[in-house]
C-alpha cells in the first residue's frame, strides 16, 4: 500500500514532488519552485538536486519549514510524508496567514545511492556547525567504540558476532556513554561513521542560500525535519535540541504532547549532537522566534539499525564492489530506515500529517 507516495528511487520521488508543486500552482496557489543542483549524478546519470517549493507569499513573517532526506535513505519515508501533505493542501487549500516551505531530499546523493551520508561520506545533520565553530574534534569516547563500529574488513551479511560484541561493550562502558560517543558527530575520521565534514558542504550551503531571503524577513518559524531509525516501530518522537529553554519545552509539550523530548543530555533523555540542521539555523538567525522539531519515526532496535550502518559504511570503504548501490549492504540499510510494511507506512503518514497540522495551528495563532 501507499506506493503512490513511497517511491522506489530518487528520480520518482523528485518527479512526484515537482509534479505536485505544478498542480498546486495550477490550482491558483502562489508557488515558487526551485531546484538546487548539487553538481552530482545518480545511478541513471540523473542530475541530483534538492527540490524546493514555497507555497504562499515568500515575504510572509510566519513560516512553516518542512525538510526531508538530510539522511539520504531516510528521504524515502520523508518524501512520502511531504507528498501526502502536498496532496492534502491541493484538496484543502493553503492555510491563511502563513507560507509553507518544502525542501525535498536535502541529501539527494545519499537518497539516490542508498546511503545515509552524502557524497563526502558526511552526515549532513552534523554539518551545520554554527559559523564560529571549527570542523574539528571527536567525542571523548569515539576512539573506544571505533573498533566496534568501523570494521576495516567488511562484515558478512549473516555475521553473528556483532550483537554479542556490542552487548559486551555496553556492559563495560555503559549505554549512555556508548550512545553519546557514536551519535554526537566527529570531524577527524573522514571514512568512519558519523563524520560531519571538513567545512559547510555543497548541499547545506545551497540550502542556506535558498532560505536566506525568507528567514531574513521572517519573525516566527516552525521547522520540522523528518527522520527515521530511532524509537518504537511506527511511533514518532519529537526531538528538541539541547539549549532550548525549559519554558519553551514546557509550552511545546502543551501543544504537541508528551512526545516532545529534549536532547539535552543533562536531563538524561538522549544525547548531545553537534552541527545538526536546526542548531545551524538557530545559530544563524538567533533573533527569530523558533520552534524546531525533529520528527523521528522508529523502525527497528538500535543495534540492528547500527549494524546496518556499520556494514554499509565498511563495505563502501573496504569492499571491492563495482555496483555498490545494488549491493546487499545498501539494500539492508534502506530496509532499516524504510521498512516495507503497510502498518508502518500508514502510521507514518498519519503522524506526519498530524504534526504538520499542529505546526500550522501554532503559526496561525496571532497571525494577522
Interface residues with Zn ion (CB under 5 A)? 71, 74, 227
Q: How far is the CB of 124 from Zn ion (least distance, A)?
A: 10
Q: How far is the CB of 294 from Zn ion (least distance, A)?
A: 8
Within a 13 Å sphere around the CA of 84, how many CA atoms are in the beta-carbon half? 25
Residue 220 or 259 with smaller CB distance to Zn ion: 259
Residue 71 or 330 with smaller CB distance to Zn ion: 71
Q: How far is the CB of 95 from Zn ion (least distance, A)?
A: 27
348: Cβ–Cβ under 8 A, 6 or more apart, which residues?
Answer: 77, 80, 81, 228, 234, 236, 297
Identify the burial level of 216 via C-beta atoms within 10 angstroms of its C-beta, where 0-12 means exposed, 13-18 middle and 19 or more buried. Answer: exposed
Residue 62 or 71 with smaller CB distance to Zn ion: 71
3-state secondary structure of 325: helix
Q: How far is the CB of 273 from Zn ion (least distance, A)?
A: 11
Residue 74 or 362 with smaller CB distance to Zn ion: 74
220: Cβ–Cβ under 8 A, 6 or more apart, which residues?
Answer: 61, 62, 63, 288, 289, 363
300 closest CA partner among 270, 327, 331, 335: 335
Q: How far is CA 198 from CA 195, 276, 306, 343, in A?
A: 9, 14, 24, 40
Residue 74 or 264 with smaller CB distance to Zn ion: 74
Q: How far is the CB of 78 from Zn ion (least distance, A)?
A: 9
Residue 78 or 95 with smaller CB distance to Zn ion: 78
Residue 227 or 345 with smaller CB distance to Zn ion: 227
Q: How far is the CB of 249 from Zn ion (least distance, A)?
A: 21
Report the DSSP beta bridge partners of residue 195: 186
Q: How far is the CB of 108 from Zn ion (least distance, A)?
A: 15
Q: How far is CA 96 from CA 33, 48, 102, 221, 337, in A?
A: 20, 33, 17, 15, 35
Other Cβ atoms within 10 Å of 18 Cβ, number: 16
| Strand ranges, E, within the chain | 31-41, 47-55, 62-67, 99-104, 220-233, 236-240, 260-262, 289-298
CA 123/CA 195 separation, integer angstroms: 6
Q: How far is the CB of 116 from Zn ion (least distance, A)?
A: 7
Residue 71 or 179 with smaller CB distance to Zn ion: 71
Q: How far is CA 5 from CA 71, 153, 160, 250, in A?
A: 18, 38, 35, 34
CB 84 within 8 Å of CB 352? yes
Of all residues in this chain, which one has the CB nearest to Zn ion in the complex? 227
Q: How far is the CB of 74 from Zn ion (least distance, A)?
A: 5
CA 359/CA 368 separation, integer angstroms: 17
36 closest CA partner among 197, 200, 198, 202: 202
Residue 109 or 220 with smaller CB distance to Zn ion: 109
Amino acid at each position: 500500500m501507499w506506493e503512490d507516495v513511497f517511491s522506489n528511487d530518487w528520480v520518482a520521488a523528485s518527479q512526484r514532488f515537482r509534479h505536485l508543486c505544478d498542480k498546486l500552482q495550477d490550482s491558483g496557489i502562489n508557488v515558487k519552485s526551485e531546484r538546487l543542483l548539487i553538481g552530482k549524478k545518480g545511478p541513471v546519470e540523473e542530475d541530483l538536486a534538492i527540490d524546493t517549493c514555497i507555497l504562499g507569499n515568500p515575504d510572509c513573517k510566519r513560516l512553516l519549514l518542512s525538510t526531508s532526506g538530510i539522511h539520504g535513505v531516510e528521504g524515502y519515508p520523508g518524501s512520502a510524508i511531504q507528498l501526502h501533505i502536498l496532496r492534502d493542501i491541493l484538496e484543502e487549500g493553503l492555510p491563511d496567514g502563513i507560507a509553507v516551505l518544502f525542501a525535498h531530499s536535502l541529501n539527494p546523493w545519499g537518497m539516490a545511492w542508498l546511503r545515509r551520508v552524502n557524497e563526502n561520506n558526511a552526515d549532513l545533520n552534523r554539518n551545520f556547525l554554527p559559523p564560529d565553530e571549527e570542523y574539528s574534534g571527536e567525542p571523548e569516547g569515539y576512539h573506544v567504540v571505533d573498533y566496534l563500529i568501523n570494521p576495516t574488513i567488511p562484515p558478512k551479511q549473516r555475521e553473528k558476532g556483532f550483537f554479542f560484541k556490542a552487548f559486551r561493550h555496553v556492559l563495560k562502558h555503559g549505554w549512555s556513554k556508548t550512545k553519546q560517543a557514536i551519535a554526537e558527530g566527529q570531524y577527524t575520521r573522514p571514512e568512519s561513521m558519523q563524520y560531519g565534514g571538513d567545512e559547510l558542504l555543497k548541499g547545506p550551503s545551497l540550502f542556506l542560500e535558498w532560505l536566506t531571503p525568507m528567514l531574513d524577513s521572517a519573525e516566527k518559524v516552525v521547522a520540522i525535519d523528518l527522520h527515521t531509525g530511532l524509537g518504537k516501530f511506527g511511533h514518532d518522537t519529537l526531538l528538541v535540541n539541547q539549549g532550548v529553554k525549559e519554558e519553551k519545552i514546557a509550552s511545546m509539550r502543551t501543544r504537541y504532547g508528551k512526545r516532545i523530548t529534549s536532547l539535552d543530555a543533562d536531563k538524561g533523555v538522549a544525547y548531545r549532537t553537534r552541527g545538526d540542521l536546526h542548531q545551524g539555523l538557530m545559530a544563524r538567525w538567533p533573533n527569530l522566534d523558533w520552534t524546531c522539531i525533529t520528527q523521528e519515526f522508529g523502525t527497528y532496535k538500535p543495534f540492528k539499525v547500527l549494524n546496518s550502518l556499520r556494514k554499509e559504511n565498511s563495505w563502501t570503504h573496504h569492499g571491492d564492489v563495482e555496483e555498490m548501490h545494488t549491493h546487499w549492504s545498501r539494500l539492508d540499510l534502506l530496509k532499516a530506515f524504510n521498512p516495507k510494511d503497510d502498518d508502518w507506512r500508514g502510521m507514518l503518514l498519519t503522524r506526519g500529517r498530524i504534526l504538520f497540522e499542529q505546526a500550522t495551528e501554532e503559526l496561525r495563532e496571532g497571525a494577522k
